[in-house]
A and B are shown apart, each in its own frame.
Chain A
């Protein structure tokens, strides 16, 4: 397995290289740069814009720019953000905790809901409850997240006033106190709920179908024949087997936890990676945009590897070599 892992890791290098070329060219293909937005006689002048373009090397040939960027990236230096006037890594590091909190809570919500719904649907397949659940799931799949976010804010924040509509923390709380954590939780719950409950469809249906399939297997018939209680059959024998493939999905979720939720974060003004990403695209803040894209690339590749490894661990029939 170690050998397999190493081989996979080496195989990633050319992929990362190719993706870096794509990310860089796409960034450069966008019209404008970080200085286009500076056309404003109140705050700058053409001479300054020209001077800064020269200073930042935006006038150099494209391959020179790429080599300069890439040689920094290899050393873990993604350069400075022009818009934020600080190092990209610091900036991303600032936003990561928020995104991880949101990502993990959303994932937990997804897993819990999917587990409960999937278990019910699998056991009582083709019942009314099953149809209701799949109805909900497909509805959630179909609703765009910005619509769900706005409706949720309108109901829970503006009309009911239960939770704040924007931000990741309330005003006037000291870091480290109980109030701080409560405020954090209060601000995270709504975006997490929106994110989490919209993503349940695939997990639920996955679990449901696997349970239905398992329930037709011979060992289940044997158990029934022995007179085992129906609830024991489902909760002990079928569920355990069916949950295995779900666990492997965790690997694929890693990138989504760190990548943040672009639309949801923006609407909730929740300062995470997704929000930062949109902001940088709009401002043509290349260094930030490319750094986030590269980070997600690596995480997706690593996530895939982890998923494969987990698969080998939980299912002895699969040999990784």
Chain B
């Protein structure tokens, strides 16, 4: 026994020496890296773009599904129009013109734009993309983006052989007729051309599994694919005939890494540009070789109240749950939560409280002075509850409802991040602090699938839940907020809200009025409504943290990711 104990001790001593040696080494290394002066921009070089989920390798905009593939696509392909800094459509490969009655959209393509195989881009490639997506055998999720073209639905259903609304005028001009006028047509219509000459006769169903998309995809972007290692890495090289002039870099490597290694790989330069994991941000932004960029994202999180259920037959939500009909109760529950403390504590400050469903980067966001800010105020929350009749009758420390019956609140949240449990407890304790008997529904968090399964099925145990939405550039809230929307997860029925949302996508009667101003007035009204009614507690808008190695220059960070790839350059 004595002997073995001795060995255990010496082994441990040996180990601790070893570990001590390691930590010493890092301490020495860090400042050395920080002293490196920023050199001159040089020609060529390669940048590694990192991501933390494996990519599927469906390298076509018409078919891809996740962020993992679009991260690669962005380097190699572009659209006719792009989203500008003010989140409105801007000309890119093409300019456009809209007819007086808003029914005909004409794209005028730039001449001389080349595909990576040397062929010139023509409007036939755009027409081809619309046909691919409208094809009856198409299995992707983009049909909604061509459905507004006249005749697309008929073609999709197999009732017509061509799409009536598409007219090719010449190689560079194409005219599209839509089914009805729409203010956000340019935001919604599909604008990514596909290489018709290259895909040949492959059917729309078989394309996603074809060599042309998986092994040797082409586009018109600044970089072309050189090598694909499935699920792991894609190497791009400069495309010399790029329409805005050749890129500065020799190439880009899109590399998949494990999220837990992000900090180390950024530190040692194996990854140059990456959207950093939020939980490591405090350490990553302090790294001496990193430019830390924080960009407002187009997304927000919320705590939903359960208002009722979705009537599948009628296709409309029914707000028949009486529990949260009292507005003062909802306001009190909002005032109870210190959202800034939540953001600072759990997300390294990467977020801002918001009070309407539009993040501050959106042009439609109402001025904060015009709406209720729901600042953290426990006393006010208690007062509101008291006035509304929620009083502690039996003296157990928790309030009862106005009829004197026990009142409990179930809370649901998604598991996944390390801090998920603590976040949920924070909210529950905040509500308990104002006297509400809140608890975690079923005693535990739910994984992503179970969470949405339970909420979509209108499980009666669900009462409040924390969710999040990512948003498109156009502010139209339809899709989530209309009472007919299945994704109106909180099942809030309001005719007033529906009307305002629908008015928000109409054209002004007065022709001379600016469309944006016209829409803004309805969106202001709508934001005031949801801010006051508070069908959900608007929680925080997200901030995306980007770690960019100091040797990489000209990386433009937008609410949707990075941009201006042809301008990226590296210093020595």
Residues of B with C-beta under 8 A to A279: 54
Q: Return the chain B residue nearest A161 by Cβ.
A: B268
What's the Cα separation between A171 and B258 when bound, in Å? Answer: 17
What's the Cα separation between A284 and B268 when bound, in Å? Answer: 35
What's the Cα separation between A135 and B3 when bound, in Å? Answer: 12
Given that A135-B11, A157-B268 are known contacts, is A269 also in contact with B480, CB under 8 Å in the complex?
no
What's the Cα separation between A52 and B214 when bound, in Å? Answer: 22
**B29 interface residue, CB < 8 Å from A?**
yes
Residues of B with C-beta under 8 A to A31: 447, 449-450, 453-454
A316 to chain B, nearest CB (A): 40
Q: Return the chain A residue nearest B58 by Cβ.
A: A85
Within 8 A of B (CB), among A26-65: 30-33, 36-48, 52, 55
Residues of B with C-beta under 8 A to A85: 56, 58, 63, 139, 208-209
- Structural contact, B11 and A158, CB atoms closer than 8 A: no
- Structural contact, B8 and A271, CB atoms closer than 8 A: no
What's the Cα separation between A307 and B232 when bound, in Å? Answer: 35
What's the Cα separation between A270 and B231 when bound, in Å? Answer: 9
Q: Return the chain B residue nearest A52 by Cβ.
A: B139
Residues of A with C-beta under 8 A to B487: 39, 41, 46
Report the contact-size class of chain A (Cβ under 8 Å from the partner): 35 or more
9-residue interface stretch from B117-125, B169-177, B259-267: B259-267
What's the Cα separation between A275 and B267 when bound, in Å? Answer: 25
Report the contact-size class of chain B (Cβ under 8 Å from the partner): 35 or more
A298 to chain B, nearest CB (A): 24
Given that A43-B141, A135-B11, A275-B231 are known contacts, is A83 also in contact with B56, CB under 8 Å in the complex?
yes
Residues of B with C-beta under 8 A to A94: 230
- Structural contact, A43 and B264, CB atoms closer than 8 A: no
B60 to chain A, nearest CB (A): 10
Residues of B with C-beta under 8 A to A271: 54, 229-232
Chain B 481-520 per-residue mask, 1 if CB under 8 angstroms from chain A, else 0: 0000111000000000000000000000000000000000
Q: Which of B63, B65, B267 contacts A158 (CB 8 A)?
A: B267
Q: Return the chain A residue nearest B213 by Cβ.
A: A85
What's the Cα separation between A33 and B46 when bound, in Å? Answer: 39
Q: Return the chain B residue nearest A175 by Cβ.
A: B227
**B84 interface residue, CB < 8 Å from A?**
no
Interface residues, chain A, CB within 8 Å of chain B?
Answer: 30-33, 36-48, 52, 55, 83-87, 94-95, 128, 131-132, 135-136, 139, 150, 153-155, 157-159, 161, 164-169, 171-172, 266-271, 275-276, 279, 284
Given contacts A52-B139, A167-B255, A275-B54, 15 further A-B contacts (CB under 8 A): A31-B453, A48-B141, A48-B144, A85-B56, A87-B209, A132-B7, A158-B265, A166-B255, A167-B232, A168-B232, A169-B233, A269-B54, A271-B229, A275-B231, A276-B231
Nearest first, the 4 A-B pairs at minimum CB distance are A32-B449, A31-B450, A44-B141, A46-B486
